[in-house]
Structure 1
Amino acid sequence: MRVLILDPFHGAAGDMITAALLDCGADKDIVVRAMKAVVAEPKISRVTRAGIQALWIETKALPVHRTLDEVLERLDAATPHMPEPAMAMARRVFERINTAEEEVHGGHVHFHEVGADDAIADIVGACTALHTLEVDRVHILPVTLGHGTGTGSHGTFPIPAPATAAILRHTNLATISGIHVGELCTPTGAALLAEFQAAAGAPGELPAYTIKALGYGAGTRDPAHAPNVLRAMIVETTGTTGGHPEDTVDILETNIDDVSGEMIAHAIGRFMDAGARDASATPIVMKKGRPGYLIRVICLPETSTQIAELMARELGTLGIRCIPSVHRFIAERTVEEIDVEIAGTRKKLLVKLGWMHGSVYTLKAEFEPARELAAELGIPVRDVLRVVEEQARRQIQS
């Protein structure tokens, strides 16, 4: 399993998260293109913070006060320049911030520091960077908040800032104050970490792992007593139980009979975007002989409460059953490039392999690359999938 571990031991801000992910191997060209769509091209440089080398991102923009709708309009400008899942995540980050601001200040709030173009660019950059890393899970270590007071557009505030505290209240993120005076975790940083955890799922206790990539994102300050950096690691887990990896999940269920097929399909997509491992709708006969659907969502225990609330909002249901801590078997899997030749065209396409006792027992061609090749060649996608899998089997067995 490919896991991103974020270690905000000196706090978290949007620019630090983006920089750490870039230093850990995120696609710089794609990230910079997305950020440029919001503000001028960011300056990315390597700096030293208390002896640790790290990437530093600087985006220049004037302070602006905006509503959520105005921020989303700014995001619209970046839509053609970033992957759709990353854009959807960026919108959810700002929805988290908006919810927190409304809790603190009441309705019809204006974003202040987090509404400036540089903050929008940081969120766009971080979400795009996470997308390009293609990780299976995100594991976030305790977030250092700092202590004391700070100063912002609303005057002097306690640390953590009220919006930061409101965002963290709706998560399972562990936090500590730390020994350093000042604001170490910003609302932008808290919202990004919260969304990363919800979207990619915190695995709880990690099994043994090997470190594949390491990166540091620098903050602006450079105190002598501690490195002002956020660390990111890409790791491959190696832990197994009974010879095969295991996962612990919750199963959420509800019966509905008054929601259209279009709304069910939309809701299932929302559940998957929110970090569900699987979601399905099964036709059933309910009490009094009424036809309906059983909606079943499989998710991590860490995200079950949030996804249950999402199920209630999207489906309008008044009750959701939770079957907690169900263990499921997970085959070891890899994704590999296979050289294939179809209709005189040679391509490298991706195939997902399932392993058991050191041997491949199942394989499946990745659909999207096969669909693109089918469109390019003008042949049915099922033919491409069949040829890719046949050639993959021959290559693996040879």
Structure 2
Amino acid sequence: MIDKRMLPLAVGGLGIGTTEFTIMGLLPDIANALHVSIPQAGHFISAYALGVVIGAPVLVGYSVKHPPKKVLMWLMVLFTIFNALSAIAPNYTSMLFVRFLSGLPHGAFFGVSTVVATRLAEKGKEARFISLVFSGLTIANLAMVPLVTYIGHTFHWSLYFIIVAIIGAITILLIHLWLPEMEGKKNGHFTNELHFIKNPQSWYILLITAIGFGGLFTWLSYITPLMTEVSHISENNIPYVMILAGAGMVVGNLLGGYLTDRIGVSKASITLLFLMMLTLICVFFLSSNKAISLVLTFLCGGLSMSLSPPVNIMMIKAAPNAEMMSAAFMQAAFNIANAAGAYLGGIPLTLGFSYSYPSLVGVGMTLTGLIICVAYVSKYNKLNLITIKNKSYDRKN
């Protein structure tokens, strides 16, 4: 059973997951309403991702001195307001601007929540508590995204943003009621928090996230046309496909946390990246088979979230004096992966290739992330081992 103290963070993740991923299923509706093409409507996804990239370090940097509970409440206030404004955006320009603003609190919320989770967790269960933070995100893909997509498509697309705003308001209340008080970093300063980026270790992990995760976004960004055009699944059944992907995300997120606590950060990261690459290869070659395509949808959904716990733990260990800022940067990197995966995955489509080809681009991105991860583990695990042995030698002498 979920720890009551973690519930506000999970519900916040539910709202964030709903606003981030539902738009992919409602792009045609929004495009028609605002009189733009579907590719132009895709800019709303990129604008949100850009907001995350900019907002994560900036908002965390200027709030690190304050108690995490207060920071999380204000981030959700911003999230709620900007999503409510999205419901009444009258044209392309205003929607682009307000989606950018909606993305600003996203990364900061997860960044602060990740650190709060590690503080609340018992020793040895940090990865599982981090997976609870992201459980709302996975449940959003399982239940809320298909439900809200149906509501938005059947009634009006603006209801999508109104529902997200309501979830945001509920999150504010739950944070107030159930999240315990914690002290902020009294001597924290924006520039001091950024010192962790001078550490090459941090850049390895950011690259693993921005490139490795991007592989699966090449698949997720074009999942609807992949299913309808290549797997020949009826458009009416796409909500059920999204539920299947969401179920995979729920399972994968929890298994990722469990696996990390069991076999360690390094082994878990390498194993999961390798499995991502194999699965995307299968998507490219086997998606024409409807049954196999559905199995791969579940697997891709699971793998898309399973890597979150180990890479976040990896970053927190690499930046012990700037956990909150480094966690925020991880969210920025994750959304760079989102934007890069969608953009690079679309290139073969503009050249006239089929909708199975974005996954081939994803194979290349995931393989690159895997190579960087192996290089990181080979270099820094060896250094850590030498340090431990040296400390042990010093104690004996």
TM-score range, shorter chain: under 0.3
TM-score by length of 2: 0.25
The structure in which a higher percent of residues are strand is 1
Flag the structure with more relative contact order, 1 or 2, with Cα contacts below 8 A and sequence separation at least 6: 2
Decide which structure has the larger Cα Rg and report it: 1
